[in-house]
Amino acid sequence: MTHIEVTVNGERRSDEVESRLLLVHYLREILGLRAANVGCDTTSCGACTVLLDGKSVKSCTVLAVQASGHEVTTAEGLSAGGELHPVQAAFRQHHGLQCGFCTPGMVMAAVGLLSENPHPTETQVREGLEGNLCRCTGYHNIVRAVLAAADAEQVQANGSAPANAEVTA
Amino acid sequence: MSILGTRVLRTEDPKFLTTGGVYTEDVVDERLDGACHVFFVRSPLAHARITRVDVSAALEAPGVVAVYTGADLADLEPIPPSAAGLINTEMQQRLLATDKTRFVGEPVAAVVTEHPYQGEDAVELVEVDYDPLPAALGFDPSDESLLFEAAGTNVAGYWGDASSLNPELFDGCEVVVKHTIINQRVAPAPMETRAAAAVWGEDGRLTAWIPNQGAQGTKSQLAKQLGVDEELVRVITPDVGGAFGAKFGADPEHVVVAWVARHLGRPVRWTETRYENLIAMTHGRAQQHTVTIGGGRDGNVQAYRLEIVQDAGAYPKIGAVLPMLTILMTTGPYDIPRAEAVAKVVITNTTPIGAYRGAGRPEATAALERAIDLFAAEISADPADVRRKNLLAPFTEPHRTAFGALYDTGDYVAALDKALDAAGYADLRKEQARRRASGDIRQLGIGVASYVEITGMGDGEDTPPQENATVEVHPDGTATILTGTSPHGQGHATAWAMIASEELGIPVEKITLKWGDTDLIPEGGGTGGSRSLQQGGAAVQQAAQELLEVARLRAAAELEANAADLVFDKTRSAFNVAGDPEASVPLTQLAENERLLIRTVFSQPGATFPFGTHVAVVEVDTETGKTSLQRVITVDDAGTVLNPLLAEGQRHGGIGQGAAQAFLEEVVYDDAGNPLTASLADYPFVSATEVPSFELADMATPTTYNPLGAKGIGEAGSIGSTPAVQNAVVDAVAHLGVRHIDMPVTSRRVWQALQAVQPGSEQ
Amino acid sequence: MIPAQFDYVAAESTAHALGLLAEHGDDAKLLAGGHSLLPMMKLRLAQPEMLIDIGGLAELAGVRTDGDELVVGATTRHADLAASELIRAEAPLLAYAASQVGDPQIRHRGTIGGSLSHADPAADLPMALVALGGSVELQGPGGSRTVSTDDFFQGFFETAMQPDELLTAVRVPRRPGVPWGYQKFVRRANDWAIVGVAAVDGRIALANMGPKPLRATAAEEALAGGASAAEAAQHAADGTSPGEDIHADREYRRHLAKVLTRRALEHETG
């Protein structure tokens, strides 16, 4: 067993884990944070996406031991005091989820994307989410949601609407 | 202001977005404390005798509680084939393969461990000796290698009578085109794989958490396969991460998990890996179509024949029966004077075929729409014009087709024209002509597909489709609905609450929906075949209305007035004496002394038939063959729309899957029956970069079959888009002489088609 | 879907990592981003008994210049390579190749050292390296050595590295302002290349046209002899041995190699 110290959603955790324990299982089974889901075996689907030191990663392909000394943010950690994060709110507003299985990972990937590219074009959103698979939505509303969240975040930051708000059908 | 028809945001979402859905693997319940975990040993061969299974090494592995083989389950009945009586009854499936294995991935043994990680370690230690047999594959599997010796054939059954096909069907047709096309095998691949959690209580009852599309059907099948009374089984449906037709009933694995729980006297849990899901969850489609279409040079289609071969996989399940639905929809939205269809169902050493979004109907449309385009190409006519010429004229009285389908309402030409208009069809053809003239490397293709599809089927002409609902109003101002439907992403919690809210004046946020617990809701048809809104939603409306009638009597007593003199004011959710608003009593107050609830069953005369037209625009790189899907424009008329937000979402999802089948996805086996697309890296599950945003045009021709005016929308998107995209890709290179390319129209297939018509065109 | 059991050590220094490699040989594997190794371990295609985590070693990270070369630390993540102003200015083909690996999440973890030592002939960075030329720096118990990119990739998932060696850095020539082209033909986003081509400065490298990334030497010679891009590209598949799989047969791969080489030589990315 290996000793790890991980900060998860702002909370410091200390645990003894098997070295092969995947970060996604550490979060789900040991910490009870089950929003991140396992959807595949080949690092393809992104349902397990969380932020590691602020960067989106697929937690099924990170060992819990690799996260020791680092910070993890999950979907549960996004909403502060019961308020939906702007990306979560946008997903709701635009019906960017149906069965919800891909959703926490998709939201975290979107948060990661917007932190690196605050004003993505539609193409950049689609490419930015190429690591997250969804079977239900056909991606249409997910893309709308992310673009809307980008606009909303700009409004929040600047206190005014963006000059060239992308018209979304 | 009615809430019906408005874009109500989903009440489900805050949970899904923050703490996440509670799927079967997420369920935390004290009844499952101390659960052990099942991991299946699966056959690595497509066809083999099993000569020896040695579990001794596995039993010694860390954390192993038990290992079970087919011999341990010998006194459980095998799973009979679907439609036994019409399908060869010898084609049964043992829960764990015992004497023989018939597809790669078939479960052979079950390892039970304390911790899930230990299962994967232990399965490697189970020794199984296989005596390989040749694999029977394809649409004409050789009878030399029989899957079931006792059956004496690899043909599972027939639908229709091939000997009654009319050799003179095409007499008098100036033009006859015949072609064999493939509707390829695809994997439903919901994001949540299959799973189960099971525990037997001291009362001898089984409680099983299983992601499914209809708990009542799952319960029946579980009970039957376990050999116990249905009363002893309770199925609970957690959140379900997508299903698309492949999570109906109970799979062998579910039964084994429940059996293990009983045998060990402990709770047991199971979640399959994606690899297992891609090879052992039922696949979809896998039909071969020989289409013959004939008519005049003026564009009139006079005759059409559809000969189907269904590859049902190793064990005939729902897939073996689906050709019946394909045949039912043979002529689609067209008025074709002479048409016939037959089907042969074969079994092969591959994963069994089940239902997959559309379940038999997309196949009919795909064949027909390809045939129409082949015919149009033969007479050098515009494919949209040929469709317009042959579509059934608009009707408001039900129209019965030669195949026995009774279409309720339809205006197919309007849907076609609306879609073409929204697409800017004329401009697209101009742009296409320009690129053809200039020999542009990137050619434009425009594909059209018109469809009609059947939703909300009952169990046959004698059993009209129906669903139950219970609505209860509570004294605290809230309400609860119990439904026989089984949502897995469709948003019933919001939609049924909207319907009840509209009747009762109780806000949507205060209405809770329950489903999928067979102790709470013993009867129900589940969610599939796009039945839920038209039957389940209508049942909710009916229950709410009936509840108001009961409430009215209580209000009359309360207000000491005549029931007939009372009006129900939705805005206040209260009854008052007509003309005297002060003399009122709130609805919820009427639940204080006695429960206020109604259970009702809503029945509608028959299935309904949504319809539409899809237009796809593609760019094909003629040097590499690669297709880029540029636009998909659709009209999907499913009658009155309850919640446009949800309806659009269903259309988007269907279009995404339908398009994916056309140009991307395919389950591939090698010549020995080994699956080559057994991971999401190999199986080309469509991502956000392959599809554009979709353009939805609205059209709503209500049905008269239910008071909501609603038909089913869930599958329509995947029915129209598949042939639209396929036709578009063929269209892009039609001017170079290409008439047909099978799905998926991959870049390699397109390139090969171009090579075939232009030998030596290598740059 | 779960790796077999293994021991895990977080290396404290390169020397520490080398010592462990020497001790455990073939039974140990180095772990940095883990996005080539862990997927293999999860499928049990690799079952090392020990993982030596070098992901935290600062001396293996970072990008700098050294005369006419860029020096890229082995544990530099693909995302950082793609975003590096220095690399984009001086070896833009490398930055672009890094931006094409997998998806954003994979790029946040995967490292150039991991990708090169994994040596997947269909991958982006091995092909890019072969196009750029340059060398790979290795350290072993006996000291350090440099292997040219032409000699580093030896076969199907096989490199010149010994089991007791560690890849410390990659060196590529600085070519500011030199046009380049990159073509990665995929069926679907996130896929490995069915065929890939990278071209810069008269050098052309191919992905997935053989067991290792190949130089399209016949095409390069034609170019050097004055042929046009289209003419030179006709020779792109000469001397290659493409495989067959569910995506493509040999004939199609050869055809793609020619088309994509012409496009890369015309400085297109796609």
Tens place of pLDDT per residue across chain A (169 aa):
999 999 999 999 999 999 999 999 999 999 999 999 999 999 999 999 999 999 999 999 999 999 999 999 999 999 877 789 999 999 999 999 999 999 999 999 999 999 999 999 999 999 999 999 999 999 999 999 999 999 987 666 655 444 433 333 3
pLDDT at B763: 44
pLDDT at B758: 82
Decide if C259 and B624 are in contact by the 8 Å CB cutoff: yes
Question: Could you report the per-residue pLDDT of C52-87, keeping only the tens digit for each?
Answer: 999 999 999 999 999 999 999 999 999 999 999 999
In A, minimum Cα distance to B491 occurs at A98
pLDDT at A160: 44
DSSP notation for B237-288: --B----TTTT-S--HHHHHHHHHHHHHTS-EEEE--HHHHHHHS-BEEEEE
Say which residues have a Cβ less than 8 Å from residue B355's Cβ, sequence separation at least 6: B245, B246, B248, B282, B284, B318, B319, B322, B528
DSSP notation for B193-212: --EEEEEE-TTS-EEEE---
Domain that holds residue B443: 284-455+607-757
Cβ pair B251, B194 in contact under 8 A: yes
Boundary (domain end) residue, out of B603, B620, B651: B603
Edge-to-edge strand list for the sheet holding B566-569: B566-569, B574-577, B580-586
pLDDT at B245: 97
Residue B115 lies in a domain: no
Segments making up each domain of chain A, as ranges: 2-77, 86-158
CB contacts < 8 Å between B and C, how many?
A: 54
Hey, how many other C-beta atoms are within 10 angstroms of the C-beta on B509? 11
ipTM of model: 0.97
Label residue B315 left, alpha or beta by phi (over 0 means left) and psi (-120 to 50 means alpha).
beta
Alpha-carbon distance A13 to nearest alpha carbon in chain C (angstroms)? 19
Question: Domain check: are B506 and B559 in the same one?
Answer: yes
Question: Domain check: are B499 and B451 in the same one?
Answer: no
pLDDT at A162: 41
Class of domain C61-173 (CATH, top level): alpha beta
Is any Cβ of chain A less than 8 angstroms from the Cβ of B27?
Answer: no
Helix (H) or strand (E) holding B59: helix B56-60
Hey, how many other C-beta atoms are within 10 angstroms of the C-beta on A123? 12
Say which residues have a Cβ less than 8 Å from residue B696's Cβ, sequence separation at least 6: B633, B634, B636, B648, B651, B652
Average pLDDT in chain B? 97
In B, minimum Cα distance to C102 occurs at B681
The minimal CB distance from C102 to the residues A65, A68, A131 is found for A131
pLDDT at C241: 94
Give all chains having 3 or more CB-to-CB distances under 8 Å with chain C: A, B
Question: Could you report the per-residue pLDDT of B668-722, keeping only the tens digit for each?
Answer: 999 999 999 999 999 999 999 999 999 999 999 999 999 999 999 999 999 999 9
The CATH H-level superfamily of A2-77 is: Beta-grasp domain (3.10.20.30)
Residue B523 lies in a domain: yes
Query: Residue C262 pLDDT more than 70?
Result: yes
Say which residues have a Cβ less than 8 Å from residue C118's Cβ, sequence separation at least 6: C36, C37, C157
Decide if A20 and B654 are in contact by the 8 Å CB cutoff: no
| CATH, range A86-158 | 1.10.150.120
Residue B557 lies in a domain: yes
Query: Is residue B645 classed as helix, strand or coil in its secondary structure?
Result: helix
Query: Residue C35 pLDDT more than 60?
Result: yes
Decide if B657 and A84 are in contact by the 8 Å CB cutoff: no
Number of domains into which chain B is organized: 2
Hey, how many other C-beta atoms are within 10 angstroms of the C-beta on A3? 10
Decide if A46 and C55 are in contact by the 8 Å CB cutoff: no
**Residue of C184, C244, C252, C265 for testing the chain B interface, max B β-carbons within 10 Å:** C252
Question: Could you report the per-residue pLDDT of B113-129, keeping only the tens digit for each?
Answer: 999 999 999 999 999 99
Residue B531 lies in a domain: yes
Is any Cβ of chain B less than 8 angstroms from the Cβ of A149?
Answer: no
Domain of B517, CATH number, reads 3.30.365.10
In B, minimum Cα distance to C247 occurs at B748
Is any Cβ of chain B less than 8 angstroms from the Cβ of A124?
Answer: no
Residues in chain B within 8 Å Cβ distance of C185: 624, 626, 747
Which segments of A38-108 are extended strands (E)?
A: 49-52, 55-58, 71-73
> Which position has the higher pLDDT, A162 or C142?
C142
Please state which of the ranges B227-236, B455-464, C153-162, C241-250 shows the lowest mean pLDDT.
Answer: B455-464
Query: pLDDT band at residue B83, thresholds of 50, 70 and 90?
Result: confident
Alpha-carbon distance C99 to nearest alpha carbon in chain A (angstroms)? 11
Q: What are residue B332's phi and psi, to 5 degrees?
A: 55, -135
Decide if A101 and B190 are in contact by the 8 Å CB cutoff: yes
pLDDT at A80: 74
Segments making up each domain of chain C, as ranges: 7-53, 61-173, 180-265
Cβ pair B540, B548 in contact under 8 A: no
What CA–CA distance (Å, rounded) separates C159 from C118?
Answer: 8
- Residue type at position B557: A
Query: Which residue from B433, B391, B174, B128 is spatially nearest to B298, judged by alpha carbons?
Result: B174
Question: Domain check: are B504 and B448 in the same one?
Answer: no
What CA–CA distance (Å, rounded) separates C193 from B701?
Answer: 47
**Residue of C105, C115, C188, C192 for testing the chain A interface, max A β-carbons within 10 Å:** C105
Please, how many CA atoms are within 13 Å of residue C239, restricted to the half-sphere of its CB? 14
Residues in chain A within 8 Å Cβ distance of C51: 19, 63
Residues in chain C within 8 Å Cβ distance of B682: 246
Residue with the two structure tokens 């390139």: B751
pLDDT at B84: 76
Q: Which two three-digit tokens encode residue B467?
A: 């669903």
Alpha-carbon distance A108 to nearest alpha carbon in chain B (angstroms)? 10
Question: Could you report the per-residue pLDDT of B593-647, keeping only the tens digit for each?
Answer: 999 999 999 999 999 999 999 999 999 999 999 999 999 999 999 999 999 999 9
Cα torsion angle, A83, A86, A91, A94, sign: positive
Question: Domain check: are B691 and B615 in the same one?
Answer: yes
Decide if A34 and B491 are in contact by the 8 Å CB cutoff: no
Is any Cβ of chain B less than 8 angstroms from the Cβ of A122?
Answer: yes
The minimal CB distance from C105 to the residues A20, A46, A63 is found for A46
Residue B541 lies in a domain: yes
Boundary (domain end) residue, out of B603, B623, B644: B603
Question: Domain check: are B298 and B440 in the same one?
Answer: yes
Class of domain C180-265 (CATH, top level): alpha beta
| CATH, range C7-53 | 3.30.43.10
Residues in chain A within 8 Å Cβ distance of B681: 42-44
